[in-house]
């Protein structure tokens, strides 16, 4: 399966809202919030989507069998995840990374994160910040593997009593996979 990373547009609104709801449930951004995020791209913000463009089992005539990633359940074609980044001065902030449950552990989250980091480099940022639930080991592993370090803890940051960990990645050194 070929996955491309591209800038999100207004035509992606329904897909991004669906991914938000699937990934975050009651903590999902509202449709209006997603719409504003997509409309506000430019000098300080960027939203990208990961799209499964063509299944490896798609025949030349366009007929398809269900698309799958080795050893995982059926993975849908179309928008599989998205990321939103904010860029102000020398600091970038990962606002959101969300991937459809059926597309997790396929590299989509890593590719989205790396695109936000690459854009931070292109914009001359010195570091990238993010917040992640202290109770989210999969996301923590993703960020640590990409060079992020925990720099602070925010008690009860998320609804209920969930703590957030503030993580940072300095950009003065290049890592494998960076553009």
Counted domains in the chain: 1
11 is a domain residue = yes
CB burial of residue 141 (10 Å; 0-12, 13-18, 19+): exposed
36 is a domain residue = yes
Give me the domain span that covers residue 90: 2-126
- Total-model pTM: 0.82
- What CATH number is attached to the domain comprising 84? 3.40.630.30
Average confidence (pLDDT) over 123-149: 96
d(CA 135, CA 140): 9
29 is a domain residue = yes
Residue 169's H or E segment, with its range, is strand 164-170
156 is a domain residue = no
pLDDT band at 2 (very low <50, low <70, confident <90, very high): confident
DSSP string, 129-156: EEEEETT-HHHHHHHHHTT-EEEEEETT
Q: Which residue has the higher pLDDT, 112 or 161?
A: 112
pLDDT band at 176 (very low <50, low <70, confident <90, very high): low
Does the pLDDT of residue 130 top 90, yes or no? yes
């Amino acid at each position: 399966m070929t996955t491309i990373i591209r800038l999100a547009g207004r035509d992606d609104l329904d897909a991004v809202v669906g991914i938000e709801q699937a990934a975050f449930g009651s903590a999902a951004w509202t449709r209006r919030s997603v719409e504003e995020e997509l409309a506000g791209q430019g000098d300080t913000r960027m939203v990208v989507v990961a799209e499964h463009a063509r299944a490896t089992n798609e025949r030349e005539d366009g007929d398809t069998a269900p698309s799958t990633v080795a050893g995982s359940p059926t993975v849908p074609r179309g928008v599989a995840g998205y990321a939103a980044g904010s860029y102000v001065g020398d600091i970038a902030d990962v606002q959101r990374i969300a991937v459809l449950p059926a597309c997790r552990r396929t590299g989509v989250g890593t590719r989205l994160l790396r695109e936000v980091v690459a854009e931070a480099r292109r914009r001359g940022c010195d570091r990238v910040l993010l917040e992640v639930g202290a109770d989210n080991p999969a996301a923590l592993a993703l960020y640590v593997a990409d060079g992020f370090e925990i720099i602070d803890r925010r008690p009860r940051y998320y609804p209920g009593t969930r703590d957030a960990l503030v993580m940072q990645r300095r950009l003065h050194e290049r890592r494998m996979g960076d553009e």
